[in-house]
Amino acid sequence: MRLVGFEKVRDGKYLKNYELTYLNKQGREKKYEIVSRRDLKGPEDLGQKASGVSVVATCGDRLLLLKEFRMGVNRAIYNLCAGMLEPGESVEDCVARELYEETGLKVRTIKKILPPSYAAVAISDTTTYIAFVETQTDETADHTSENEQIEAAFYTKEQVAALLETEPFSSRAQMAAYFFTEI
């Protein structure tokens, strides 16, 4: 596989659409569409800069999950606290800001921040850090904008295990929740 063409086809407010042209194994041309949160100058920019964070937050022996309405699937799903890095913002500051904006919670300790990983590798070059944090308290508050519908709550292992069997999750939240129940 060899990339031979790169063109921006749409410049949206939050997402930029690109058409990539590849030569497949047999040397035939293949068109592939992707989206990016960044304005890419060329193929060398693909996947080179992290755009956000996902936060796996605990308070004692309970896991924070957000039940949030997601327009892309027209329903509420269980998700992790997450958001985009602002220009010049450190990863640690982004973690603290997003946690506070979406839940009213403050970070007690950042346990670990993993290197950036691809969020939706089949359709996007977007990469995010995954941060594991302990919060100062479990008392959530709604600090979200009028364009977000988020219910934040902490769940025990038993509650999380039950949710995993019956409720829709984002893939990262589902994986974090499953491993939380196994620890």
> How high is the mean pLDDT in each 10-residue block of the chain (183 residues)?
95 95 96 95 92 97 97 96 95 97 96 96 94 95 86 97 98 97 91
Hey, what amino acid is at 7? Answer: E
Q: What is the pLDDT of residues 50-60, one digit of tens each?
A: 999 999 999 99
* Confidence (pLDDT) at 151: 95
* Confidence (pLDDT) at 183: 83
What's the token pair of residue 79?
């998700």
**With contact defined as beta carbons under 8 Å apart, do 116 and 142 qualify?**
no
Spatial separation of the C-alpha atoms in residues 133 and 106, rounded to whole Å: 10
* Confidence (pLDDT) at 142: 80
Enumerate the domain spans of the chain: 2-43, 52-182
The reply to whether the predicted model has a pTM over 0.85 is: yes
| DSSP state string for the chain | -EEEEEEEEEE-SS-EEEEEEEE-TTS-EEEEEEEESS--SSGGGTT-S--EEEEEEEETTEEEEEEEEETTTTEEEEE-EEEEPPTT--HHHHHHHHHHHHHS--EEEEEEEEEEEESSTTTB--EEEEEEEEES-S-------TT--EEEEEE-HHHHHHHHHHS-B-HHHHHHHHHHHH-
**With contact defined as beta carbons under 8 Å apart, do 104 and 111 qualify?**
no
Q: What is the pLDDT of residues 117-152, one digit of tens each?
A: 999 998 999 999 999 999 999 999 888 888 889 999
CA 97 from centre of chain: 15
CATH superfamily ID and name for 52-182: Nucleoside Triphosphate Pyrophosphohydrolase (3.90.79.10)
